[in-house]
Each structure stands twice: as C-alpha cells, then as structure tokens.
Structure 1
Amino acid sequence: MLPAAVQAEKTRQPEGVGVDQKLSAPIALDTKFYNEDGKLVELSSFFDSDRRPVIIAPAFFDCAMLCTAVFDGISRAMTELAGKGMKAGESYRVLSVSFDPGDTPAMARAKGKLYRSTVKNQEVGPDGWHFLTGTQDNIKPLMDSMGYNYKPDGEVRYSHPAAIMLITPGGEVSRYLFGIKYDATDLRLSLVEASSGKIGTLTDAFLLTCFRFDPQKGKYTPFAMGFMQIGGLLIFVFLVGLVLFLYLRERNT
C-alpha cells in the first residue's frame, strides 16, 4: 500500500501534466547540467554511443512524495538487476535530472549518496547513478525532447508524472515506464532492447523473441508470432538432425 499522500499525488494529473511519448526521437544531448561536483558538463558525456543504455528519471530533489517513491522504485529494481548480473555502471547508467532550476549540486550530491547506498547486490558509484541539476535554459529543452510535461504547483511545488525514460546509447528514446514500481524483468528487457542486444544474455534474446512490450499494459506480454518462429526453428533443427541421423545410420550399414 502506498502512503495516502503519495497515492494522491500519483493520481493527480492537472491539465498540461503528463507524458507525450516520443519513441525513437533524439533527446537534447547538447544541453548542459551541473554534476554532483558542481562541474558543468554536456549531457552527451553520459552516453557511450555504442553500448550502455541510460535511464533518465526526472525529479526535483526536495520532493518528499512522488519523486521519493520513484527513487525507491529505481533502487529496488537496480537491486534485483544486480542480483541477476546486470549492474549499474557496467551494463547501464541511471541519471536523475532535476527539473527545478533552484536545486543545487550540493543537493544532488547528498541525494546521490543517499540513494546509491540503498542499492544492494552491488556497490553503486556516481558512474552508475548520477544526479544532475541545471538552468531552465537547459532543463526545458531536455524535458521537451522526451515529452515530459510538468508545471509549477503551489500545493506541492511541482505537479509531474511518475515516469522514467530508457534512452539508447546513441541518445534516442527507446521506452517509457510509468508508475513508481518497476518490474525487474520488464526493466531488464527494456534495457536489452535499448542497447540493441549489446548487453544481456541469450536468455534475454530468447525472451525478446517471444515477448513484446505492450504500451497499454506497461509490460512485456507473450508474442504469438515469436513463439511460432521459435517453434519453427526447433522443428527445423529436429528434422535436420533426424535426416543426418538416418543418413549416418544408412552409411554405416
């Protein structure tokens, strides 16, 4: 059960607040943000361009309700992923980007230190989960490029959606995950897809053949054609093996 205040904020969506999904759209990699050390860096510096996908989690750092629940959900998912061999900093990276221009690098550093310590099954450093702050001139282009819409709200400072974005190593939007709880399997498969198969295992590749992401349900669901393809491949392998077996037996006799 969610605390009542978090549940209320999660369901309250004023006009103009939400997500316009921009799948495959490039995000504003040329924007600049302050890292936890207070150094101004270009967002592109957090992207490998060839391997590691990036999870972007918009928030503001003195938010005590919805943002905190999102961070908790990310931490739990990272713990589960690390327990199955997919570690932050190695296979993927998380960026928590503040959309409040009043947030400071000191706030980002404190928040980063706190939440990295909550991840179990691995020791997460700033390379795995980093918190960024910036000016409105850079915040708005980034949020707009991802279709993330928020607005000032006198009641809770900001009204904003609970969503994280999975970005390809080249800087394009690959997937949106909504809510404050992120199923580890869905997140893992989303990361593998975002990397174009450059991370993950053969099992992940098999699952992506047989399952497809359903944006209506917000999770991966069975894909009939994928199962048919796998079934057809298995039948083909069986027939080839049978023919080879019969041929070798015939030759030996």
Structure 2
Amino acid sequence: MGADIALNNGLPPEAQGVTVDQNLGKTIRLDLPITDSNGRAIKTGYVFDGKLPTIVTLNYSNCPMLCSIQLNKLTSALGKLDLKLGTDFRILTLSIDPTETTQRIAETKARYLDDLNNQPEAESGWVFCTAKQPIITQIADTLGFRYKYDRVNKQYNHPAMLAFVSPTGVITRYSLDIDFPADQIKLALVEAGEGTVGSPVDQFILWCYSYDPQSNSYTPAAWKIMRICGAGFLVIMLICLVPYWVGRKRTAADETETVPTPDPV
C-alpha cells in the first residue's frame, strides 16, 4: 500500500489509480447485457460459451493514441499466430465509453479486420461491443481495470491490457504491454483454453514454461527442463544397456550348453 501511495504521489491527479489489478481466477458474469457492432443485444455468455478461450480488451474508438497503438500491435501479432481468430479463439473488445454508438464501433472493427484478411473467421471471432455504464463498470471491476475520465481533455485515461479468459469466463492471464510477441500470446491462449486449443506439442511446450510476473512473460522453467533431461538420460541409458544385458544372458546360456557332462564313476 505504501509503495502504491508513493507511486501515485509522483503522478498527475488524472493518472493516479490508472492501473490493472490482476484478478486471476475471477469469473466474468455470463448474463451481462452488451450490444455488438451489428446492433444485436447479446449477453457476455454469447462470447464465453464454453467452447473457446477469449482475449478481452477494454478500449474506445475516440482514444487519441493508446488504443490504436495497442490494437494495431495486437492485429500484427495475430497475423503471425498459427492459431486462427474465430476458429481457435475469440477476442472481445468492450468500449469503455458508454456514449459510443454502434455505427462508430462497427467502423472501428472494420478498420482492424482489414489487417486480418487471411483469417476468414475473424469477422465473427472478434466481437466489438458497447454497453451501459453500470455494465462497463462491472466488467472493468472484475478485470481489475482501473481507468478515469479526464473532464478537462474529454478523454479516458486508461492502461493497456489484454486479459486471457477461459471458455467459461475465468481470467487466467494478463498481458500489460502494448507489444505482444506472437509466441507469448499463443502460450497464454493455450493456457486459457484448458486443453481446447493447441496441439499436444503446444501443451508440452506450455508445461515447459512458467509465467514470470516480473517480466510479464512466459519463461523456460529450469526445473521442468532438468526433469525432462534427466528422464531422457535414463531412457538413453536403458536403450544402451538392454543389448548388453541381452548379450550377457545369451553368453551365459551358450556356456551352459557347452559344458561337458562328466562320465559316471
């Protein structure tokens, strides 16, 4: 708490408290009403339907800088993924501006989909939506997303956040940067997918990594790698020793057969 106060004291008032509390393990309610970019009234359970993991972002179309940088970086990373948006995972982008219109958010969605022309399911897989202020507040609170409205400059001060959410709405991981390496996104999606996303090799790679909250990234887990190396060494030793053991048994059997039987006295 003391460190937070000291940090906030060094910030201008409009930026104080703008952060993300990583609420790992919390669940986004599935019955919250939102409106998608087609004007359809849906519930959050439409996205978190138990089938695919989801990346959740909180942005708004009139953001002067951060949102466009974040979403451009995200679409760039998506183009490098071998997982496909709409087939292997979804994205939910909720506007934090309750006055944003359906038309405006549809225009924003179209702009980013243009960069994903190699992913035919992206249209249905990336859900841009608006909501009323109480719903925005509830979702933001569940995610630990702390933002403020700057009445002087008429804009929202907010952090950059990707939240990785399981198919049933459980928050499993965060990325709090504006640059998203594709391999890190893939590991987070495989983890959030709870076995529904990625090949057995992907699951094995995830097992070999641990999430480092200090670097906000997945890093190789030394003890797991040592276990793998140890197991591999034992397997190699067994492979090498089996022929030796078999050879010794055959030699002993041959010697038994060639020993002459003594004549009776």
TM-score, length-scaled by structure 1: 0.87
CA contact (8 A) 2:37 2:103 kept: yes
Q: Which residue, 140, 155, 158 being the options, matches 1:157?
A: 155
CA contact (8 A) 1:214 1:221 kept: yes
CA contact (8 A) 1:116 1:125 kept: yes
Q: Indicate the larger mover: 66-75 or 222-231.
A: 222-231
Amino acid in the other structure paired with 1:149? R
Amino acid in the other structure paired with 2:129? L
The residue number in structure 1 matching 2:130 is 133
Distance 2:61 2:148 in 1: 15
Unaligned runs of 5+ in 2: 1-10, 252-265
CA contact (8 A) 2:87 2:121 kept: no
Aligned length: 239
The residue number in structure 1 matching 2:204 is 206
Q: Indicate the larger mover: 201-210 or 32-41.
A: 201-210
What are the within-5 Å matches in structure 2 for residues 1-253 of structure 1? 14-49=15-50, 51-81=51-81, 85-119=82-116, 121-153=118-150, 154-155=152-153, 157-246=155-244, 249=247
CA contact (8 A) 1:168 1:195 kept: yes
Structure 1 residue matching 2:98: 3-state secondary structure: coil
Once the 2 structures are TM-superposed, how far is the Cα of residue 249 of structure 1 from its aligned partner?
Answer: 4.9
Once the 2 structures are TM-superposed, how far is the Cα of residue 117 of structure 1 from its aligned partner?
Answer: 1.1
Distance 1:184 1:44 in 2: 27
CA contact (8 A) 1:59 1:96 kept: yes
Once the 2 structures are TM-superposed, how far is the Cα of residue 248 of structure 1 from its aligned partner?
Answer: 5.1
Higher-Rg member (1/2): 2
Amino acid in the other structure paired with 2:22? Q
Unaligned runs of 5+ in 1: 1-10
Distance 1:251 1:39, change over 3 A: same
CA RMSD of aligned residues (A): 2.0
Distance 2:79 2:37 in 1: 22
Structure 1 residue matching 2:124: 3-state secondary structure: coil
Q: Percent identity?
A: 31
Distance 1:233 1:73, change over 3 A: same
The residue number in structure 2 matching 1:4 is none
Once the 2 structures are TM-superposed, how far is the Cα of residue 31 of structure 1 from its aligned partner?
Answer: 1.1
Distance 1:33 1:60 in 2: 15
CA contact (8 A) 2:28 2:169 kept: yes
Distance 1:250 1:127, change over 3 A: farther
CA contact (8 A) 1:169 1:195 kept: yes
Structure 1 residue matching 2:63: 3-state secondary structure: coil
CA contact (8 A) 1:74 1:182 kept: yes
